Structure 1
Amino acid sequence: MGACISAGKFGDYCHGVPKENSWSADEEEAQKRDASSGGGGRRICCSGQLPHYVSLYSQQGKKGPNQDAVVFCQDYATGGGAFCGVFDGHGHHGHHVSKRVRDWLPAVLLRQWRQWAAHEGAEGKMVTDSSTAFDVWKESLFKAFMMMDKELRLQQAMDFSCSGTTAVTIIKQGDDLIVANLGDSRAVLGTISEDGALTAIQLTTDLKPSVPQEAERIKRCNGRIFALPDEPKVQRVWLPNDNYPGLAMARAFGDFRLKSFGIIAVPQVSYRRLTSADQFIILATDGVWDVLSNKQVASIVWSARSREMAAKMVVEAAVHEWRSRFPSSKMDDCSAVCLFLRC
Structure 2
Amino acid sequence: MGCIYSRVCIGETCKGSSINGDPISRNELQHVFSPSSSGEIRDQLNQLSLTRDSEAGIRRLARVSSQFLPPDGSRIVRIPSSNYELRYSYLSQRGYYPDALDKANQDSFCIHTPFGNDVNDQFFGVFDGHGEFGAECSQFVKRRLCENLLRNSKFSVDPVEACHSAFLATNSQLHGDILDDSMSGTTAITILVRGKTVYVANCGDSRAVIAEKKGKDGDVVAVDLSIDQTPYRVDELERVKLCGARVLTLDQIEGLKNPDVPCWGTDEEADDGDPPRLWIPNGMYPGTAFTRSIGDSIAETIGVVANPEIVSFELTPNHPFFVIASDGVFEFLSSQTVVDMVAKFKDPRDACAAIVAESYRLWLQYETRTDDITVIIVHINGLNETPVAHSTSSRDVLRTSVPQVIEVTGSESPSTFGWTARNNRVRQELSRARIRAIENSLENGQGWVPPSSAHRKTWEEEAHIEKALNDHFLFRKLTESQCHVLLDCMQRVEIEPGDIIVKQGGESDCFYVVGSGEFEVLATQFNIYHNDRKKKTGRYLGFCSATQPKNYRALENLL
Q: For the superposition of Structure 1 and Structure 2, which TM-score range results when normalised by the shorter chain?
A: 0.7 to 0.9
1:221 to 225, 237, 243: 243
Quote the offset at 1:54 in angstroms: 0.9
Quote the offset at 1:312 in angstroms: 2.4
- Counterpart CA distance in 2 for 1:212 and 1:237 is 14
- Counterpart residue number, 1:44: 67
- Counterpart CA distance in 2 for 1:167 and 1:213 is 20
Structure 1 vs Structure 2 CA RMSD? 2.6
- Counterpart residue number, 1:269: 310
Residue 182 (str. 1) matches residue 203 (str. 2): yes
- Counterpart CA distance in 1 for 2:143 and 2:344 is 31
- Counterpart residue number, 2:170: 148
Residue 244 (str. 1) matches residue 285 (str. 2): yes
- Counterpart CA distance in 2 for 1:294 and 1:205 is 11
- Counterpart residue number, 2:532: none
Instruction: Tell me the secondary structure at the aligned position of residue 229 of structure 2.
Output: coil
1:163 to 165, 178, 184: 184
- Counterpart CA distance in 1 for 2:285 and 2:200 is 31
| Mapped contact 2:130–2:184 kept (Cα < 8 A) | yes
Aligned length, in residue pairs: 300
1:6-17 equivalent positions in 2, closer than 5 A: 8=32, 12-13=57-58, 15=60, 17=62
Residue 197 (str. 1) matches residue 219 (str. 2): yes
Quote the offset at 1:313 in angstroms: 2.2
Quote the offset at 1:233 in angstroms: 4.4
- Counterpart CA distance in 1 for 2:92 and 2:287 is 25
Identity over aligned pairs, percent: 30
| Mapped contact 1:45–1:72 kept (Cα < 8 A) | no
- Counterpart CA distance in 1 for 2:206 and 2:304 is 16
Residue 83 (str. 1) matches residue 134 (str. 2): no
Instruction: Tell me the secondary structure at the aligned position of residue 160 of structure 1.
Output: coil
Quote the offset at 1:299 in angstroms: 1.6
Which ranges in structure 1 are unaligned for 5 or more consecutive residues? 19-41, 118-125, 128-135
- Counterpart residue number, 2:154: 116
Residue 221 of structure 1 aligns to which amino acid in structure 2?
A: C
Instruction: Tell me the secondary structure at the aligned position of residue 132 of structure 2.
Output: coil
Q: Which shifted more, 49-58 or 75-84?
A: 49-58
- Counterpart CA distance in 1 for 2:60 and 2:361 is 36
| Mapped contact 2:61–2:115 kept (Cα < 8 A) | no
- Counterpart CA distance in 2 for 1:73 and 1:44 is 8
Quote the offset at 1:15 in angstroms: 4.3
Alpha-carbon displacement from aligned partner over 1:221-270 (angstroms, at most 9, x marks no partner): 11111111186740101111101110010000000012121110000001
- Counterpart residue number, 1:300: 341
Residue 93 of structure 1 aligns to which amino acid in structure 2?
A: F
- Counterpart residue number, 1:132: none
- Counterpart CA distance in 2 for 1:144 and 1:285 is 20
Quote the offset at 1:88 in angstroms: 0.6
Question: Would you tell me which structure has more helix in proportion to its own residues?
Answer: 1
| Mapped contact 2:2–2:109 kept (Cα < 8 A) | no
Instruction: Tell me the secondary structure at the aligned position of residue 66 of structure 2.
Output: strand
- Counterpart CA distance in 1 for 2:173 and 2:68 is 22
Question: Would you tell me which structure has more strand in proportion to its own residues?
Answer: 1
Instruction: Tell me the secondary structure at the aligned position of residue 278 of structure 1.
Output: coil
- Tell me which of the two structures has the higher relative contact order, counting C-alpha pairs closer than 8 angstroms and 6 or more residues apart: 1
| Mapped contact 2:108–2:128 kept (Cα < 8 A) | yes
- Counterpart CA distance in 1 for 2:59 and 2:347 is 27
Quote the offset at 1:17 in angstroms: 2.8
- Counterpart residue number, 1:54: 88
Residue 224 of structure 1 aligns to which amino acid in structure 2?
A: R
**CA distance 1:16–1:273, change in 2 (3 Å):** closer
Quote the offset at 1:220 in angstroms: 1.1
- Counterpart residue number, 1:69: 108
- Counterpart CA distance in 1 for 2:338 and 2:273 is 26
Quote the offset at 1:309 in angstroms: 2.7
Quote the offset at 1:14 in angstroms: 5.5
Instruction: Tell me the secondary structure at the aligned position of residue 129 of structure 2.
Output: strand
Quote the offset at 1:46 in angstroms: 11
Quote the offset at 1:290 in angstroms: 0.6
- Counterpart CA distance in 1 for 2:380 and 2:280 is 43
- Counterpart CA distance in 1 for 2:358 and 2:69 is 28
- Counterpart residue number, 2:141: 101
Instruction: Tell me the secondary structure at the aligned position of residue 338 of structure 1.
Output: strand
